[in-house]
Amino acid sequence: MEGEAAVGLIGLGIVIFLISIVFAIIVFIVKLAISLLILALGLLIVAVIPMAIGWIAYETYKAFIDNEFQTNRAIIFPTLTVITAASLSLTYYVPYSPPLLVFILFISGGSLVGTLAYPYIRRRQLIKKYQEEEKYLIEP
């Protein structure tokens, strides 16, 4: 009887061991599936975000061309917007931003502001110049 009890305990131990191996394999497969899902989601995000940015920049370019903007402004404006947004977000999320990144932010941001303000400044200059020329033409 003692021998049968020992064999029964050994058999029970083997069954428990096999069940634990099956559960370990199941847990490994589930973890692997979750890891692959997260990796696929990350790759999808990495692929989709630049495509979306490119599409928005292209649509902005098309809208500028359709509204008869100059071609160089239609190209520069979306490009500077993307560069400024990227450098601003990197500067915000990187704890100690490298000086080059901050420099790029200031240069692209300043260029963007200049690109936006230039047509208004130029128009004001032309009106002022015309008023100065017209003043002499009107006086007797």
Q: Are 115 and 80 in contact (CB under 8 A)?
A: yes
Q: Are 57 and 79 in contact (CB under 8 A)?
A: yes
111 has pLDDT over 60: yes
Average pLDDT, the chain: 83
**Per-residue model confidence (pLDDT) at position 34:** 92
124 has pLDDT over 70: yes
**Per-residue model confidence (pLDDT) at position 73:** 79
User: CA-CA distance, 57 to 117, in Å (whole number)?
Assistant: 20
**Per-residue model confidence (pLDDT) at position 70:** 78
3-class SS of residue 120: helix
Q: Which pLDDT tens digit goes with each residue over 4-61?
A: 766 677 777 888 888 888 899 999 999 999 999 999 888 888 888 888 888 888 888 8
Q: What is the largest CA-CA distance in the chain?
A: 135
Residue type, 108: S
**Per-residue model confidence (pLDDT) at position 35:** 92
The full DSSP string for 99-116 is HHHHHHHHHHHHHHHHHH
- CA quadruple 98, 103, 108, 109: dihedral sign: positive
Domain extents in the chain? 1-58, 69-140
